[in-house]
Chain A
């Protein structure tokens, strides 16, 4: 079992605030780090897949960075909107094709 930790567990922000979450993982035998957004009553959907140390990816107001040497990734949301309310999951993918998921960060954006 591989331990992937996410913090905080939950977060409430006002509309327009910017926020960020952390995903921590063992840095050895790393292959790829995934971020998914999981809205209530829907399927998780991929946001980013990152493989290289120093990777930075952006999709609209959401961006992510990766540090494989120290074993962490940050997800940033700029100017949060109510539609950003969801659970954000990170997952470590190792050789062998398995995904190891964190417990997620539940974000609520208050209008």
Chain B
């Protein structure tokens, strides 16, 4: 079945360690996105990519890095520079036309202890 897969669902890391969250899609979508959700807040954009080998910072990119080496994959690295990394992370993708919907993964809950 076509869709977006995020792994793992739950992730625990020690403070000071980098961690990479996986996002894979087989929908042949050009655009991919990473969002962060904190309690009581909406989805905030971390990074997005409109095409392979290109990506742009969103509103809260500090402390995060991404790569887009393949169309299907858009991994997010939470670095030790991210001051409050504990959050729910949601990956999405969308086709090129701007009047089309986004499709989402099931999310990864990251807890840094």
Contacts and interface: CB of A to CB of B under 8 A. Distances in A.
Contacts, number: 57
Interface string B89-101: 0101010001111
Contacts of B74: none
Interface bin, chain A:
20 to 34
A46 B99 CA distance: 12
A30 B44 CA distance: 19
B11 interface: no
A43 B44 CA distance: 16
Interface residues of B, number: 27
B98 A101 contact: no
Given A93-B98, A95-B98, A101 B48 contact: no
Contacts of B100: 49
Interface stretch (B12-20, B34-42, B65-73): B34-42
B104 A98 contact: no
A74 interface: no
Interface in B49-88: 50, 58-59
A102 B98 contact: no
Contacts of A36: 101-102
Contacts of A97: 31, 48, 50, 94, 98
Given A34-B101, A43-B4, A95-B98, A101 B42 contact: yes
B43 interface: yes
B28 interface: no
Contact of B43 (A1, A46, A89): A89
B113 to A, nearest CB: 23
